Amino acid sequence: MKAKALKSLCLVLVFSVACPALALAQDAESLVKAAFDYMRGKASVSTATMTIHRPDWQRSMTIRAWTLGQSDSIFYIVEPPKDSGNGTLKKGGEMWMYNPKVNRVINLPPSMMSQGWMGSDFSNNDLAKTDSLIKDYVHTLEGSETIDGKKVFHIKSMPKPRAPVVWGMQKLKIREDHIFLQEDYYDEDLQLVKSLTLLDIKPLGGRLYPAKWRMQKAGVKDEYTVVGYEKLEFKDSLPADLFTLSSLRNPRF
C-alpha cells in the first residue's frame, strides 16, 4: 500500500515536471502557427516598396503582391518603369519568373533558390519556403520579456529530422498579439546568417501590422534590404487561377 502511494507520488512528480515542458512546446507551436496565420491572413493584396541598400549604391522598386493561403503568391514589379511587368510566381516550393521584354517564363532551378531575389537580401528561398517554418521546424519557448507593456515570446525553432530545410536554426520573437518582431536565421553550424526585423507596427489592412521589414546579413553593417508596405488588404479568398503560369504571363495591375 505504502509502495503504491510512493509510486503514484513519483508519477505525479514526473508529470508535474514533464507537463509544463510539453505544454510549453505546444504553446510555442500554436503561438508560431497563430502568428504566421495572423501575418499572412487567408489571402492578401498589397503594394510595397523594396529598397536594396549597399555602401556605394541603393535601389528601390515598387512591388504589387497577391497571396493565398500559406504558400501561394504572385508578385510583379510596378516601378521603376524599366523593370515594370517582371513577375514572380510562387506555388508550393517552386518558383517561376516572367520577363515581359522577352515574354518568357523561367522555372527557378533548386540551385538558384539560395540566391537573392532581384539582388536583394531576401533569397528566393525566403519567398518560396514561407510555410517551411510551420511545417518543418519544432518550436520551443525559450523565454519572454515585456516591451511597452506587451509580452514578447522568444522561441527557438530547430528543424525536424530529415526535413528539407534551408536553415539550421531560427530564433523568433513574437509579441503576445501574434505580431512577429524578429526572425534570426542560422546555418547548420548555428552561425547567424541574417536577421529580419519587423518595425513600425501600425494599423494596416484592418489589423495591427509591421509596415517595415528589414533584412540584414550578419557581419555586414551597411548592407540591408527594407520592404515598406504602402497598401495592404486582407481578403477571405482570391481566385485560384490567379496563381497560375498563364496568369503570370498576363500581368493584371
Partner 1 sequence: MSIDLRMAWRNLWRNPRRTLLTMSAIAFACVLLVFMLSWQFGSYETMINTAVKVQTGHLHVEAADYQDRQDMRLVIKDPQAVTKMVQAAPGVEAYTVRANSFALVSSQERTYGILVVGIDPAREAKVSTLKSIVRQGSFLEPGDHEGALVGRLLAQNLQVKLGDELTVLGQGRDGSIAALVLKVRGIYSSGMDDFDRSSIQMGLQAFQDAFTMEGAAHQVVAICQSLEEVAGAKAYMAAHLPPQKDPGLTVLDWKQLMPGLLQGIEMDLVSGIIFYIILLVVVTFSILNTFLMSILERTHEFGVLMAMGAKPGRLGRLVVMESLAMNLLGVGAGMIMGALITWYFQVQGIDLGAQELMAQYGIVGRIYPRLSWLSLLSGPAVVFVMTLLAALYPTRRLWKLRPVEAMNYA
Residues that bind partner 1 (CB under 8 A): 52, 56-57, 59, 77, 80, 82-83, 86, 97, 99, 101-102, 104, 106-109, 111-112, 115, 118-119
Please say which residue, 76 or 209, places its beta carbon nearer to partner 1: 76
- Give me the long-range contacts of 84-90 (CB less than 8 A, separation at least 24): 85/251, 87/248, 87/251, 88/117, 88/127, 88/248, 89/243, 89/244, 89/245, 89/247, 89/248, 90/127, 90/128, 90/130
Please say which residue, 104 or 150, places its beta carbon nearer to partner 1: 104
Residues ≥6 apart with Cβ < 8 Å to 20: none
DSSP of 176-214: TTS-EEEEEEE-TT--EEEEEEEEEEEEETTEEEEEEEE
Smallest distance, Å, CB 123 to partner 1?
13
How long, in residues, is the chain?
A: 253
How is residue 238 annotated by DSSP? -
Smallest distance, Å, CB 43 to partner 1?
27
Smallest distance, Å, CB 61 to partner 1?
9
Smallest distance, Å, CB 172 to partner 1?
30
Please say which residue, 56 or 241, places its beta carbon nearer to partner 1: 56
Please say which residue, 77 or 179, places its beta carbon nearer to partner 1: 77
Please say which residue, 52 or 155, places its beta carbon nearer to partner 1: 52
Contact 194/217 with Cβ under 8 angstroms?
Answer: yes
Q: Which helix (H) or strand (E) holds 134?
A: helix 132-136
Q: Which helix (H) or strand (E) holds 39?
A: helix 2-40
Smallest distance, Å, CB 220 to partner 1?
13
Please say which residue, 111 or 237, places its beta carbon nearer to partner 1: 111
Smallest distance, Å, CB 106 to partner 1?
4
Contact 215/198 with Cβ under 8 angstroms?
Answer: no
